[in-house]
Amino acid sequence: METKRFETEVIHKGYHALQHHGSLSPPIFQTSTFVFDTAETGASRFAGEQEGYIYSRLSNPTVAMLEERIASMENGEKGLAFGSGMAAVSAILIGLTKTGDHVLCSEGVYGCTFGLLQLMEEKFHITHDFHPMHNEESIRAAITDHTTVIYIESPINPTMKLVDLEMVAGVAKEYGIPVVVDNTFSSPYLQRPLDLGCDVVIHSATKYLCGHGDVIGGLAVGSKELMSHLAMTTQKDIGGVMSPFDAWLLLRGIKTLPVRMDRHCENAKKLADLIKEHPAVEKVLFPGDTDFPQYELANKQMRNAGGLISFEIKGDKAAAQKFMNSLKLTKIAVSLGDAETLIQHPATMTHAVVPEENRMKMGITDQLLRLSVGLEAWEDIWSDLQQALNQV
């Protein structure tokens, strides 16, 4: 079948109802293992001579549908599903490195990714550096003879700083180093790193792809060659795979990704403008704000600015916590991308594991809050934020 537009593929890609009794909704193959008709069939499937399922840690038909769908959404050759975003991050990073290698990272990453990089350094002597990646020359200077991966979040959790993906991919090509992009904050609807020359895309599918706060999952997309290799090594042997039921919930959530993202973006833009003007607010970090230092870059590589707004309250940690405790509609919770508006305090929550010195370098102050704008009426979210800001 020819490739259709994004909004069509998120609903149809990888599923053929008439091959499944006409069931409009895809079946959940809730099974651990698959029966072989003969011993020889089993042997040839293990030998890779015959196509077919073996065991659900290796692959499963419901999970495979999701993998085909995300590959199409990211315009890549092959997708892999994992039991969490961190299972995807660790399978890719461990898969692309060995003892003595070096990972060049964007100026900030999610707290557990930071923790994983530290663990890799302590246990396996795989070093890393954080780098702003503002221009080609400084990236060339930061690449060492041992650099085997460039790892980027853009926008970066939670400071919203951006990295010019096309520029970094261009430099990386000179050295033959793969560029891995964690695309969780944008989703493939807003940003497609592979189209910009990057090599691997990772998602915490827990967030916008799911959209309903009921799944922990991870996805990765890249070339058939690399993804098949990772499938047979760090995915299969570390074993952090996704369950068929979670894959089904994700297939369900993904159908509405474009309409949800449009609403998240619309709400966030209206709220960012209002939050910025409130006297209790020090500054707003939102790529859709015309005063955002990388506003031009956001316009260049993202379809829209997304649904996350970070902002600093005037005052200290106590002021930030007082504001959070005054909220009524907005829920105090980590995670993001759900229908419900969520707020969290990165310094004591998602990035609490990052030592203070590194946190400050990344720009994660004690007054910084991260708001995941939900799908409620923006007027109701604003009333809630405004009454809480008035109490600070």
Q: Report the residue from 187, 294, 350, 367 that binds ligand LCS according to the rule CB under 6 A.
A: 350
Minimum CB distance to ligand LCS, residue 354 (Å) = 12
Which residue number, 85 or 95, has a Cβ lying nearer to ligand LCS?
85
In this structure, how many other beta carbons lie within 10 angstroms of the beta carbon of residue 127?
Answer: 17
Is residue 339 near ligand LCS by the rule CB under 6 A? Answer: no
Which residue number, 143 or 265, has a Cβ lying nearer to ligand LCS?
265
In this structure, how many other beta carbons lie within 10 angstroms of the beta carbon of residue 194?
Answer: 23
Query: Which range touches ligand LCS (CB under 6 A), out of 83-91, 127-135, 238-246, 380-388?
Result: 83-91
Contact 132, 138 (CB under 8 A): yes
Which residue number, 164 or 182, has a Cβ lying nearer to ligand LCS?
182
Please, which of residues 151-210 interact with ligand LCS by CB under 6 A? 153, 157, 182, 184, 204, 206
Q: Which two tokens stand for residue 71?
A: 């590959």
| DSSP H or E run through 69 | helix 61-73
Q: Which two tokens stand for residue 273?
A: 């403008």
Which residue number, 60 or 157, has a Cβ lying nearer to ligand LCS?
157
Is residue 324 near ligand LCS by the rule CB under 6 A? Answer: no
Ordered DSSP codes for 274-310: HHHH-TTEEEEE-TTSTTSTTHHHHHHH-SS--SEEE
Please, which of residues 199-258 interact with ligand LCS by CB under 6 A? 204, 206, 216, 218
Which residue number, 101 or 182, has a Cβ lying nearer to ligand LCS?
182
How far apart are alpha carbons 275 and 362 in whole angstroms? 22
Q: Which two tokens stand for residue 377?
A: 């009426």
Query: What string marks each residue from 85 to 114 as x (binds ligand LCS by CB under 6 A) or -?
Result: xx--x--------------------x-x--
Rounded-to-5 percentages of helix, strand, coil across the chain: 40, 15, 45
Q: 359: buried, middle or exposed (CB in 10 Å: 19+, 13-18, 0-12)?
A: buried
Which residue number, 9 or 79, has a Cβ lying nearer to ligand LCS?
79
Minimum CB distance to ligand LCS, residue 330 (Å) = 15
Minimum CB distance to ligand LCS, residue 179 (Å) = 16
What is the number of alpha carbons within 13 Å of residue 191 lying toward its C-beta?
32
Minimum CB distance to ligand LCS, residue 151 (Å) = 11
Indicate the SS3 state at residue 256: coil
Give the binding site for ligand LCS (CB under 6 A). 84-86, 89, 110, 112, 153, 157, 182, 184, 204, 206, 216, 218, 334-336, 350
